[in-house]
Amino acid sequence: SETIQTVLDDLDIPYTTGWAKNTHEDVYPGKGGYGIVAHIGRRASGKVPGSGSKEDEDEAGPCVILRADMDALPIEEQTLNVESFKSRKSGKMHACGHDGHTTMLLGAAALLKTVEDSIQGTIRLVFQPAEEGGAGAKRMIEEGLMEMEPKPQHAFGMHVWPTLPTGVIASRPGAIMAAADTFEILMAGKGGHAAMPHLTIDPIVASSSLVMNLQTIVSRTLSPLEAGVVSVTQFAAGDAFNVIPASVVIRGTIRALSVETLNSLRNSVEKMVEATCLLHGTNSTIKYSPDYYLPTINDPDLFEFSKEVAGMVSKEGYMRDIVPTMGGEDFSFIADAIPSTFFMIGQGTGGDEKLHLPRTDYGLHHPSFSLDEDVMPVGVELHVNLALRTLAELGNGDSPSWYKKKVENETMEGSATAAI
C-alpha cells in the first residue's frame, strides 16, 4: 500500500486511503484498511467541486472503475532464478500474480495521467486488498465505493492466467468464475486408548466416512449439466499413535456457478454431516466463511463491447472465448453492483530455464509461480483502452452501443413474441 501511494504521489494523482477495513478479525488477522482509491479525469482535475449535487455529477461526466487486487498468499516461495525479486517475507509470496495486477494498473495510471485534460469523465482506480480472504471488494463497497461522486457506471478487472499463452486475452459472457464458500466441520466424539476402541466414540472413523461420502454430493445429487465442487483440503486430528482423539477438524471449500447451486450444495453437506453423526454417535458443528463470494458475472450486453476492445489489444487480434473456472474472485461483488467485465490475460509461455529465466506456466497458488513480465504491457494497454473507449461511448450524448444493442434485441424478441 505504501509503495502504491508513493507512485501515485510521484504521478500527482489524488487518492484516499484506509479502504477495506477488516470487519471479521475473529477469522482474518489484522485491522485491514490498506485499500486505495484514486481518480484521474474531471473529478481529479478539480473541474468538479464534488458536492454530490446533480449539477456536479453532470459536469463530472461518466465514471468507470479499473480494479486491481494487491494481496499475497501464505506460501513459502520456491520459484527458481528469482533471487533479485524474491519475496522478502518468509512464508508469504505473490503466488497469484496480484503484484502484476497492481503494476499494470499503476502503468495505466501513468499513461492516463498524461492525457487527463482530454478525458471525458472520471476514471476511478481501485487498489484492493484482501481478495484471497476477507472479501476486500465487498468491504470497499460497504464503505461507499459505489456511492462516491460521480457514481460509476461500469467496472473492469483482469487476472493473469498461466494456462493461456502470453499476451492472449480471454473471457466469456455470463458466469466466468464461481461462487465460493469455505467450511470448517468439528466432529466431536469420545477419546481414549487406541487399544480399547470399544470404549471410545472414534471421530476419525466417522470423519473418514464423511470425507468419502462428501464426494458423492456432486456426482450423485447435482445435475450433470451443472457445475459444482465440494473439496476437503484439511483433516486435523490426534497427537499420538496410541490415542484416539476426542475430535477431528475438517476444512474445505464449496464452489458453484450460481448462488442457488452453492446453497444447495451447502444444504447437502449439512445433511450428510447430520447423517454421519447419527450413524456414528458423534456430534458436530459447521462454520462457513463470513462472506461467501458471489459468482463473477460478465454483463452480456457490455461484454460485446469489451470483447471488441480486448481483441484490439490481444496479440492474436481477437479475444478468445473461455470456459468458466471454479476459482473464486471477489471482483464479483463489484460486478454484482454495476455492469462489468472480467478478463483472463495469458502469461503461460514465458521464461526459459536454459537462460535461467523462471517458467511462467506454473498454476496459480503454486509455490513456483512466476509472473511473465511480458504480460504487463498488455494489461496496461487493456486498462487504458477500456477506460477511454468506455467513457467516450458513455459521454457521446447518445446511448452507448451496448445499450442500443440490448434495446434492439429486446425489440426483436418482443416482435417475435407478438407474431407468435
Sequential pLDDT tens for the chain (420 residues): 999 999 999 999 999 999 999 999 999 999 999 999 999 999 877 654 444 555 555 677 899 999 999 999 999 999 987 877 789 899 999 999 999 999 999 999 999 999 999 999 999 999 999 999 999 999 999 999 999 999 999 999 999 999 999 999 999 999 999 999 999 999 999 999 999 999 999 999 999 999 999 999 999 999 999 999 999 999 999 999 999 999 999 999 999 999 999 999 999 999 999 999 999 999 999 999 999 999 999 999 999 999 999 999 999 999 999 999 999 999 999 999 999 999 999 999 998 877 788 999 999 999 999 999 999 999 999 999 999 999 999 988 667 888 766 666 666 566 555 555
Three-state DSSP class for residue 55: helix
Rounded to 5°, the CA angle 307-153-32 comes to 100
Question: How many angstroms separate the CA atoms of 324 and 243, rounded?
Answer: 45
| Helix ranges, 28-154 (H) | 42-45, 54-60, 98-114, 136-142
pTM (global) more than 0.85: yes
| Owner of C-alpha cell 471479521 | 24
Which stretches does DSSP call E strand in 291-332?
296-298, 320-321, 325-328
SS3 sequence of 73-98: ECCCCCCCCCHHHCCCCCCCECCCCH
CB 109 within 8 A of CB 387: no
Please state, as a whole number, how many other Cβ atoms lie within 10 Å of the Cβ of residue 228. 23
